[in-house]
Structure formats: C-alpha cells, structure tokens
Structure 1
C-alpha cells in the first residue's frame, strides 16, 4: 500500500508541471493575503465580527460567479481564461498593497478588494480544474488531483507563516506585493502551456445547465450527503475568524500567535496529504467522511477549551488532518457516483460549497464570538459539528452503506 503522494504526473507532463508549480506559488500568496486582511481588519476595528464579515463580503461573488465558473470555462479557451483571471488577481493584490502603503484605513475598501479577489477566483478555479485531463493520461488524473490538494495544503502552512514574518518585520505592504508577484509568476507558467479550447467548440454559458446540475445534486442522496457533510464542518466549526481574537485575548501572542494558529491547520493537512496513500484503500468513503467530520468537530471543541497556545495548536493539527480525509472521501464519492455528463456542473456546485461554506462559517464564528467570546464560539461550533455528523449518519443511510471497489 503506497504511503506517500504519487508524483508521476509532474514527471509525465512538463505542461502540467508548469501549471502545478504556478498554482502552488499563487496559492501561497493567497494564503498570505488572507492572514494580512484578517489582521488589518482586526487592527482597524478590534472586532471578531468585522473579521468574520470578510466572509460575508466574499460570499456574494463566490455564489454569484461560482456556479457559472464551469459554464464559462466550457465556452472559451480555458488557458486564456486563466491568464485573464490570474492577471486580474495580481492587480487586486497590487491594489491591496497600495491601500496599505497609503495607510488609508478604509474598512469598505478592504471588503471590496476581498470581494473582487473572491469573484475572480470563482471563475479561475473551475477553469484550472479542466487542465489535468487535457495534459495527462487518464490514469494519472487521480494522482494529479492529490498533488493539487497537496499544493493547497503547503500554501495553507507556508502562507500564514510567511505573512506573520513579513507583517512583524516589514508590514502588510510586503505581504500584498509578494502575493502580486506570485500571480505574475502563475501567469508566466500558464503562458507556456498549449491553448485549451473546449472540445467541440464550446457551448454557451447559461442558467439552464446550471439548474440541471443543482437538481441532480439535491435529489441524489450520496451527492447531497457529501455536500451537507462539508457544510456541517465548515459552517458550524470553521475557526479562522476567531484566530486574531484568540491570539490576542486568550494566548497573548499577537501577530505571531495568529500566524501559528493558521499554520497549525495547514501542518495537519500537509501531513495527511503527504501521507495520503492509504486513503486509496478505503472502501466505505461515506463512513470515513462522516467520522472525519466528527473528528474535525471534536478538535475544534478542544481548541475552544484549550488553556494554552500549544495545546490549541495540537488540536488544530488534528483538525487539519481530519479535513484532508473529508475532502478526499467527498471527492471519491462525487467522482464515482456522478454521471460523466454532469460532472462539470457537480464540480461547480462542489466549488461553491467548498468556497462559500467557509465564508458562512467565518460569519457564524464572528457573530457568536461577538456575544459569547472567541473561545466559546469555537467550542460551541465544534460541538454542533459533531452532532451534525451524527445526524447525517442517521438521516442518510446511503452514506453509511455506500461501498466502492478501491482495488482497481
């Protein structure tokens, strides 16, 4: 049974290697900007709710554009679309650097730029997901998906750590400028791969095909259950918006402690992704997914009850590892149970859930923290998540019973 992630796609296709490296660097930049934005908003307002409201500002463009991202990618050259979106994301990062350098201290501007970044990412991500099948043999596509998730986990660890070091030594301007540079690098890597027009000349983007995908997701118990499990974990127990306040009021560590809290989730996810080989042998991914969601909830409960920073970091490492198991099992269920003609649209729904759920979670965490404090918000959210996983197991027996042949 393989233990480490499969790197054959990086050797098999120089074009995939270029795209993967560019995406990995830009993801690190995005992770840095997420921390810098949270710290800037908290420094400006002193409010966990204001930090959580970043999620509300980004939720609208995510939902508005996310469902149509795959539809747009099926209408134009996907390589060209990613070049446009990546260039625009570099511009947004540059504007963030300008506002920090000028010390404008305008909350609405931070929210507006966060919303612009979210909307562009909602179009960029579905287009990028079409690259591996065009650049690799079919047998290497699953390994490519695992590598993409590994890159995301590396960014989740490296981004916050770099942001903390740069903000403590230089300031937010350096964080945003480095983010812009990573997107510029991503543009250069994508420019070196072949054009990717959609097969058959493409189809017009529209509402009807999106609606069909939504109907399928709602009526299919395995698809609906997988998406609800992700919402349970992210909406009820995502702790990101609480990190600045926990670091400031509970652990007394300021910016460095904030960065460590963000990075601990990334470390757990990185370890789980790097050692993800055994997950390929899981034959009951529905059960594994629900158990992982429950473990995530218990770990966030532990975070809320932790009296010391190091204990909190340990719980977050466990949570990060559980999240990877959830993601891999959800992807397995969606890919194996969705008809090929609907996979693009279900991937679009999955993107909206994956992107919008955490934003709602940030809003929930900040709102509860405003009334009960950040520690109570984390503890109550983790408990609710664990109970939600039990409820899904009872309400959706198809998830518990689903088996797949992973020996192929």
Structure 2
C-alpha cells in the first residue's frame, strides 16, 4: 500500500477517542442509538397514518406545522433551564414524558376509529417535551468531551443518528403497511424505556454556582449573545433557509405512489440517511477543516441542487441516489455547524444557545414540510420538490454574500474559538474548576 493511500485512509478514518475517553459520552451515544430507532419508525408511522385517515397533502404537511409553536417556546425555555438546573435531571424527566406520548399514540392507533386530532395534539406535546430536553443533551457534550475531541464527537453523533435513520424508516415502512401503526408506536415506547435505563447512569451535571436562573431575562441574554455574533447567525440562517425551501419528506408517501413503487416508501425515507452515513463513516477529514462557515454554505447549496435533481428524475433508484447525496451534504453541514457551536460558545451560555440552535435546525424542516404540502397542493409533488430545491440554492447563495463574517470564519484565528480553547485548557489543568471534563 502506497504512503499516499495510507495517508488518505488515515484522513477518512473515524476518530473514536471521545468514546474511549468519556464514560458519559458512551452512555449518551448508546441511549441515542436506541431512541433514534424508535423515533424514526414513528416519523414514518405518523404521516402514513394521517394519509390513510385523510388522503390530504395539506393534512400531512400540517402535522409539522402543529409542532412548530411548541418547538419554539419549549426550545428556548429548554435552553434557559439547561443553564440553570441539573442537565441530567432535565434529560431524565423529558425522556419519561416522551415515553408517555409514544404510548398515547399507540392507544389511539388501537381504537376502532383513530382520531386525527390526537396525531396533531400528541405530536405537538411530544415535540415540546423533546425540545425541552434537546438543549440539555447538546449542552452536556462539551462537559463530558475534551475540547480537542469535539469535532470527532460531532462525527460520532451524526453516525449514531444515521444508524437509526437508515434502518428504522425502512423497517417502519414495512411495519406500518404489514402490521399497522400501533406496532410502530409500541416499538417507540419500548425504546424510550430502554433509553431511560442508560441515561439514569449518567453523572449529575449541576449548573455553575453563579448560573442565572431560568427567566425571560436569561433568555434575552442568550438571544443578545447570538445576534451579536454574525458567524453564529450564519449557521442558523443558512440551515433554516435550506430546510424551509428544500425539505420535502411530507411528500414521500405521494412521491412513492407516483413513481409506481408505494412499497418503497421506507426506501425514500432512508435515502437521505444512507448518504449521511457515508459522510459520517468517511468524515475524519472534517476535523481537519477550519473554514467551517464556507463549508456550511457549500454543503447547503449542494443539498438544494440534489433535491431539485430528484424532482426531474423518473427512476426510483435515481431519486434514491439524489436524496442520498442531499443527505450527505446535510450531514457535512451539520458537522461543521456543531463544531463551531461547541468550540466557541462559553459553558454558561451553552444551554441557551443550544435552544436557539434547536430552533434553527428543527423549525426549518417543520416549515419546509408545511411549504412542501401547500406547494404540492397547487402544482403536484414534483413541482414542489424541484422549485423548493432551486429556491434553496438561491437563498443560501444570498446569505453567503450577506454574511461575510460567517463566510470567512476560521477556527485557527477566531477570537471566540481561541478563548474557549484556553478556558477548557485551564479547566483541564484544574480538575475542580467549573467546566472540567471528566475522563
């Protein structure tokens, strides 16, 4: 084997050091694998059940819209409490709440006449609980992983996500068509129970002694910090634009029928995750990239191009390939955004900023699916998919030009990245200091 090939393989290889060095990171990863599996099965079951009950593009798209307000409110408040309370307790209580909502969907599905309103209401409640939990999970990672390993941790977290995103939608498509949606919801409920057992073993993560209590004032402080940093605003705005204009998973049940392959519904849902998995498995190179802002712009534009191509290709396998390419681009964008956030945001603000991040990467897909449903009602599924992809490319390009600080971001010279690196080094040298990372 040539030296050049060996170097290439080393650049692409996964860095497993966060798993090796941090017990709590291992527990979070294991829990995430289990819950992702159940959650993605439910993500197939809900739109499928709504389609079966209503047959309406708009009704399916509005499932995401119903979740939007709880996501905004609970995402911001979840960030505030993540900085003010023990993050472990927040995570555990939220996981218990998610177990209950999955069980409620199962019970509704077992009724002789399942109620449409339950899908909207329970979906909204479940989204609210998940958004209360998510900032604590995100803010936990910099506390249990070393600063120099955060890029590798982002790649591993994306790999965990893809494990569920590939296998679960495919299995979910089979489950809902062969055994019904109740079986899918039952599996999701069991996954949350198993996840609770793992998360219980995580060490307590108390807030700093001088942590600001959760309040409107603390929320405003976090928002002010985010708005004051143009590089952070770039990570939010580019991702929102990409998702609003090009996210179209609500169209998949209809697109599968138009392609003459309704049995391939799970395949369409899995396609993006296949591309993401490939990007994750070969993602060692991302830890050597320092121009993260430019990387996000290029990846988001490629996401839009891929979705536009999927709209004009008649073959199910060619559509699968385009969606996979889109997923790979989205994963690279996510790795770069996560690395920027974790390497530059101070710990005392990490929870509140995680809440804002949640709004950026969760609101886009919700609004995007609502947009996709409304545009499809006017011009059909392929029209909605294709025009959305082109609008995504245009919006990302415009934002890249409008935000030079984001476009030029370089982790080697950025003042926030250097300051956080120095703080983490000081904390590591003093194990009893706030923010010290356990082994």
TM-score range, shorter chain: over 0.9
From 295, 300, 307, the equivalent of 1:300 is 307
For the Cα contact (< 8 Å) 2:79–2:356, is it kept in 1?
Answer: no
Q: Which residue of 1 aligns with 2:235?
A: 226
Q: Which residue of 1 aligns with 2:57?
A: 48
Bigger mean CA offset, 348-357 vs 97-106: 97-106
For the Cα contact (< 8 Å) 1:240–1:362, is it kept in 2?
Answer: yes
For the Cα contact (< 8 Å) 1:150–1:270, is it kept in 2?
Answer: yes
Equivalences for residues 128-207 of structure 1 within 5 A: 128-200=137-209, 202-207=211-216
Q: How many Å separate the matches in 2 of 1:195 and 1:216?
A: 27
For the Cα contact (< 8 Å) 2:138–2:354, is it kept in 1?
Answer: no
Q: Which residue of 1 aligns with 2:220?
A: 211
Q: Which residue of 2 aligns with 1:364?
A: 371
Q: How many Å separate the matches in 2 of 1:141 and 1:401?
A: 21
Q: CA deviation at 1:339?
A: 5.0
Question: Could you give the per-residue CA deviations for residues 374-396 of structure 1, whole angstroms, max 9, x where no partner exists?
Answer: 11000000000011122122222
Q: Which residue of 1 aligns with 2:45?
A: 36
Bigger mean CA offset, 196-205 vs 268-277: 196-205
Q: Which residue of 2 aligns with 1:378?
A: 385
1:104 paired with 2:106, answer no
Report the aligned-residue RMSD: 1.9
Q: How many Å separate the matches in 2 of 1:398 and 1:199?
A: 31
Q: Which residue of 2 aligns with 1:259?
A: 266
Q: Which residue of 1 aligns with 2:295?
A: 288
1:117 paired with 2:126, answer yes
Q: CA deviation at 1:53?
A: 0.5
Q: Which residue of 1 aligns with 2:411?
A: 404
Indicate the SS of the match to 2:149: helix
1:15 paired with 2:24, answer yes
From 69, 79, 83, the equivalent of 1:60 is 69
Indicate the SS of the match to 1:130: helix
Q: CA deviation at 1:306?
A: 1.5
Q: How many Å separate the matches in 1 of 2:204 and 2:198?
A: 13
For the Cα contact (< 8 Å) 1:251–1:257, is it kept in 2?
Answer: no
**Relative to structure 1, is the Cα distance of residues 114 and 395 closer, same or farther in structure 2, using a 3 angstrom cutoff?**
same
For the Cα contact (< 8 Å) 2:248–2:372, is it kept in 1?
Answer: yes
**Relative to structure 1, is the Cα distance of residues 145 and 292 closer, same or farther in structure 2, using a 3 angstrom cutoff?**
closer
1:71 paired with 2:80, answer yes
Bigger mean CA offset, 318-327 vs 274-283: 274-283
For the Cα contact (< 8 Å) 1:222–1:337, is it kept in 2?
Answer: no
1:243 paired with 2:243, answer no
- TM-score (norm: length of structure 1): 0.94
Q: Which residue of 2 aligns with 1:26?
A: 35
Q: CA deviation at 1:212?
A: 2.2
Indicate the SS of the match to 2:84: coil
Q: Number of aligned residue pairs: give it.
A: 405
Q: CA deviation at 1:241?
A: 0.8
Indicate the SS of the match to 1:104: coil
Q: CA deviation at 1:76?
A: 2.6
Q: How many Å separate the matches in 1 of 2:120 and 2:312?
A: 31
Q: How many Å separate the matches in 2 of 1:6 and 1:333?
A: 18
For the Cα contact (< 8 Å) 1:38–1:241, is it kept in 2?
Answer: yes
Instruction: Note the residue ranges of structure 1 that are not aligned, 5 or more in a row.
Output: none
Instruction: Note the residue ranges of structure 2 that are not aligned, 5 or more in a row.
Output: 1-9, 414-420, 422-439
**Relative to structure 1, is the Cα distance of residues 394 and 197 closer, same or farther in structure 2, using a 3 angstrom cutoff?**
closer
Q: CA deviation at 1:137?
A: 4.0
Question: Could you give the per-residue CA deviations for residues 234-263 of structure 1, whole angstroms, max 9, x where no partner exists?
Answer: 011001111011112x11222x32211110
**Relative to structure 1, is the Cα distance of residues 73 and 339 closer, same or farther in structure 2, using a 3 angstrom cutoff?**
closer
**Relative to structure 1, is the Cα distance of residues 302 and 224 closer, same or farther in structure 2, using a 3 angstrom cutoff?**
same
From 332, 353, 363, the equivalent of 2:360 is 353
Indicate the SS of the match to 2:12: coil
For the Cα contact (< 8 Å) 2:76–2:219, is it kept in 1?
Answer: yes
For the Cα contact (< 8 Å) 1:156–1:266, is it kept in 2?
Answer: yes
Q: CA deviation at 1:291?
A: 1.1
